[in-house]
Structure 1
Amino acid sequence: MERTQTTSVPHAAQPGGTGPGTAADQDRRRAVRRMKTLATGLLLVVALIYVLAKWAGAAGAGGWAGYVAAAAEAGMVGALADWFAVTALFKRPMGLPIPHTAIIPTKKDQLGQSLGEFVGENFLSDEVVRRRLRSVGIGRRLGGWLAEPRNADRVTAELSTALRGALTVLRDADVQAVVGEAITRRADAQEIAPGLGALLGKVVADGGHRRVVDLVCARAHDWLVLHGDSVMSAVSGGAPGWTPRFVDRKVGDRVYKELLRFVTEMRDMPEHPARGALDRFLTDFATDLRTDPDTRARVERLKSEVLGRGEVQDLIASAWGSVRAMIVAAAEDEHSELRQRARAALLSLGRRLARDERLQGKVDGWLEGAAVYVVTTYQHEITALITDTVASWDAEQTSRKIEAHIGRDLQFIRINGTVVGALAGLGIYVVSRVFGG
């Protein structure tokens, strides 16, 4: 059956519609009418030949008239028989209620059901789908296609457009709420003290905290140098009122110098006892975080208090805005790191797929499994689409639609029936004359 693609006219183009259908349908109907005229004309010609041959035979024209009359008679019988068969597919011949006629209008729903079952059994089976996909070699073809730089550029551009569209459609408030809830729920469900203890213990064991201690000592030393008067004033201000002022100043000066000396030694002496005490404190604290129930409970309470603060929730929610803006900007920029990495990944995947038969087999297996799952899970829904669609069509319009597509071939059957019938009739007449004397 030929398939013609044209523009629809402004009427119902569906089989169940009442309009003339598409322009292609109108062209097909005109072609069918021409073939009907030709087939009917051939029948009339044969009938005329039969009449003339019988007249010629009665007038003594000779034996040839009998041969022509026999051929013409059988041609009429063949033409009428095929006319009846073709007409019976679409309507009742001459309007007579003959059984097993008007097959398509009366059996439309059964035909739709049979067509759905035929498609389901022969096209949507596990074996057929797997065999067809395996013969196509999708993995190898996909690899060769992706290995072309222009195709990788095209896929990257399409993915970027889809990503931008998805991020544009999403409402920031909804995403922020989901992100905030997800982070909070995950943090509440996961105890962090043991993990913090393990991390702290690893940092102390590797000496990773020493740079932090060095930085704190250096900053403390610099602060003391710049704010010596403030330290001495604080010490003097805390002295009893009955002590002389010069004594307070002496004590403050002494405290400041000792404090400065202590911090300076801690800064300059990696093996200072205070540093060792700090190492032991951090080690013990890391152990308590992992094993001490009271310490772990305190950390969990502190975590809940921090997460419950509005400022923290706002910070978590606002993180989405920054991430979204960063992704959109990267997706729009053809030279961004994101798009360049995506393009490189696609090219690498394409080259691997084109060469690696194991990877091709995996991809083909995934696609086969997905396709088989779809057709086996939704086979009934797919076949029901065919059955329900055919059932929804108007019987008369369905007949016209089908006749428009296959009517020309059916009219050729009438023509062939006329010719074959005439030849068969002539052959029978010849045999009967030869053996009948």
Structure 2
Amino acid sequence: MLPVPVPAADAPVRSPRDMRLMATGMLIAMAMLFLIARATAHHHPAIGFVQAFAEAAMVGGLADWFAVTALFRHPLGLPIPHTAIIPRNKDRIGATLALFLRDNFLTPAVVARRMQKLDVAAAAGRFLASPSGGDGRLREGASRLAADMLEALDQERLGGMVKGAIAQRLRGMNLAPLLGQAIEAAMRDGRHAPVMDGIIHWADRTLEANDHLIRQMVHERAGKILRWTGLDENLSNAIIDGLRRMLAEMAADPGHSLRLKAEEGMAKLANDLQFDPAMQERVARIRDEIVDNPAMQRWIDGLWEQARSGLLRAVRDPGKAMAGRLGEALQQLGGTLQESPRLRLLVNRFVRRAAVGATASYGDSIVKLVSETVRGWDAGTVTSRLENAVGRDLQYIRINGTLVGGLVGLAIHAIDMLF
């Protein structure tokens, strides 16, 4: 068939109805030209060529009109066999389309082969590293969708689930071994010494601030003779001075016997926290009491509200969120994705496996959805949608058929005149 010129990019695109009118108008024009040429053929022999062109063009146009119309409906409403092909076979078309999708797009092998050519990690890295670039509409649309989803969720139920999950996670933590390992590591590296010094200095300041309590206790427990002679005061001074001297020696001497004794106690505590079931159970009870404390519950409530508010602020204003620390972290992640081939390989492998797994799990469901959707359409819907999709091209077939038929008729008439 003759090639039909494609409209320019800035030219208006004709609708299927306009193309149908053009093809039908050309067929009517050929019929009128045939009648005029037949009536005036005796005036000049060249008019016979015009008559042959118009006659063959009518035949070609009518044949293609019949073929195109027979795809979607009965020509002229007549129940001619093997017409209205699409409405009569819509279920088979739906099943065939579903099988085509499954065999060519929705098999794990095909998806894996397609995903092998995609560098999702590099694309994500470029987007994260340059958040100001790319398609802003996509980012804004995703932000609005995320914000709408967050606001549409039942906040009481969602908040309860999140807070319950946090509390459950805290209760599930076995803190005793962690504490024991932390104390053991601190003692092994000598990091417990500043803590010990701080405790000694605190004890010295506490003793200095509360020495009157020691004096009062000695005075109350001393006998009448000691109080009468004033020896209770001397005894109090001796006790206080002895305690302060002992604390000073402990602070100055890392090898002081009492200090070493305290370190032995810390080492035993670290061991019990890691290996003593009774100690671990005691720590677990303390942990549960802390989690159940109303103050702790209020802290968890505030943590959830802050997280939810932060998420809403971030999704409503992604540009501002990307300008903060989160944005810096995401940009750094984007740069790492672009610069690290190993990380890109891991991310792409994960995405590929996820896509292949989703295809293996849900491919048949998608195929079934397509088949059942087409089967559920009425014949008019199928005809209308397909005709709107390919109607313009089908009308070009009619136009080409008219022109080609006319040229063939012209050639046959010329051959007939020559021989």
Q: What interval of TM-score do these two structures reach, taking the shorter chain for normalisation?
A: 0.7 to 0.9
Q: Which runs of 5+ in 2 are unaligned?
A: 1-5, 8-12
Deviation at 1:96, TM superposition (A): 1.9
Q: Is the 8 A contact 1:74 1:424 kept in 2?
A: yes
| Residue equivalent to 2:104 | 122
Letter of the aligned partner of 2:267 in structure 1? T
Residue 207 of structure 2 corresponds to residue 224 of structure 1: yes
Deviation at 1:262, TM superposition (A): 2.0
Q: Is the 8 A contact 1:76 1:418 kept in 2?
A: yes
| Residue equivalent to 1:8 | none
Q: Is the 8 A contact 2:23 2:399 kept in 1?
A: no
Distance 2:153 2:187 in 1: 44
CA pair 433-287 structure 1, distance change in 2 beyond 3 A:
closer
Distance 1:259 1:336 in 2: 62
| Residue equivalent to 1:93 | 75
For residues 171-214 of structure 1, give each alpha carbon's deviation from its aligned partner in whole angstroms, at most 9, with x where no partner exists: 77656644554454445444443443333334344444443343
Normalising by structure 2, what TM-score? 0.73
Normalising by structure 1, what TM-score? 0.71
CA pair 151-138 structure 1, distance change in 2 beyond 3 A:
same
| Residue equivalent to 1:35 | 23
| Residue equivalent to 2:379 | 395
Deviation at 1:113, TM superposition (A): 3.1
Residue 248 of structure 2 corresponds to residue 267 of structure 1: yes
Residue 195 of structure 2 corresponds to residue 212 of structure 1: yes
Select 2:263's aligned residue among 279, 303, 319: 279
CA pair 250-164 structure 1, distance change in 2 beyond 3 A:
farther
Distance 2:96 2:230 in 1: 109
For residues 14-70 of structure 1, give each alpha carbon's deviation from its aligned partner in whole angstroms, at most 9, with x where no partner exists: xxxxxxxxxx99x542342233122232234235534654xx4xxxx7987877666
| Residue equivalent to 1:6 | none
| Residue equivalent to 2:184 | 201
Distance 2:267 2:395 in 1: 98
Q: Is the 8 A contact 1:82 1:417 kept in 2?
A: yes
Letter of the aligned partner of 1:279 in structure 2? E
Distance 1:418 1:315 in 2: 81
CA pair 245-402 structure 1, distance change in 2 beyond 3 A:
same
Deviation at 1:84, TM superposition (A): 2.0
CA pair 430-177 structure 1, distance change in 2 beyond 3 A:
closer
| Residue equivalent to 2:3 | none
For residues 281-316 of structure 1, give each alpha carbon's deviation from its aligned partner in whole angstroms, at most 9, with x where no partner exists: 333333334444444444444444454444444444
Higher mean C-alpha deviation, range 114-123 or range 129-138: 129-138
Select 1:113's aligned residue among 75, 79, 95: 95
Higher mean C-alpha deviation, range 176-185 or range 78-87: 176-185
For residues 323-379 of structure 1, give each alpha carbon's deviation from its aligned partner in whole angstroms, at most 9, with x where no partner exists: 667787899999999854433344444444445545444444444333333444333
Higher mean C-alpha deviation, range 411-420 or range 102-111: 411-420
Aligned pairs for 1:295-314 (under 5 A) are 295-314=279-298
SS in 2 for 1:151: coil
Distance 1:420 1:335 in 2: 60
CA pair 51-252 structure 1, distance change in 2 beyond 3 A:
farther
| Residue equivalent to 1:254 | 235
CA pair 136-108 structure 1, distance change in 2 beyond 3 A:
same
Distance 1:210 1:398 in 2: 82
Distance 1:430 1:32 in 2: 31
| Residue equivalent to 1:236 | 219
Percent identical pairs in the alignment equals 32
- Alpha carbon RMSD of aligned pairs, Å? 4.6
Q: Is the 8 A contact 2:33 2:51 kept in 1?
A: no
Deviation at 1:99, TM superposition (A): 0.6
Higher mean C-alpha deviation, range 204-213 or range 262-271: 204-213
Distance 1:345 1:152 in 2: 19
Residue 356 of structure 2 corresponds to residue 372 of structure 1: yes
Select 1:421's aligned residue among 387, 405, 418: 405
SS in 2 for 1:378: helix
CA pair 285-392 structure 1, distance change in 2 beyond 3 A:
closer
For residues 369-390 of structure 1, give each alpha carbon's deviation from its aligned partner in whole angstroms, at most 9, with x where no partner exists: 3333344433334344544444
SS in 2 for 1:118: helix
SS in 2 for 1:150: coil
Higher mean C-alpha deviation, range 258-267 or range 145-154: 145-154
Letter of the aligned partner of 1:221 in structure 2? D
CA pair 133-51 structure 1, distance change in 2 beyond 3 A:
farther
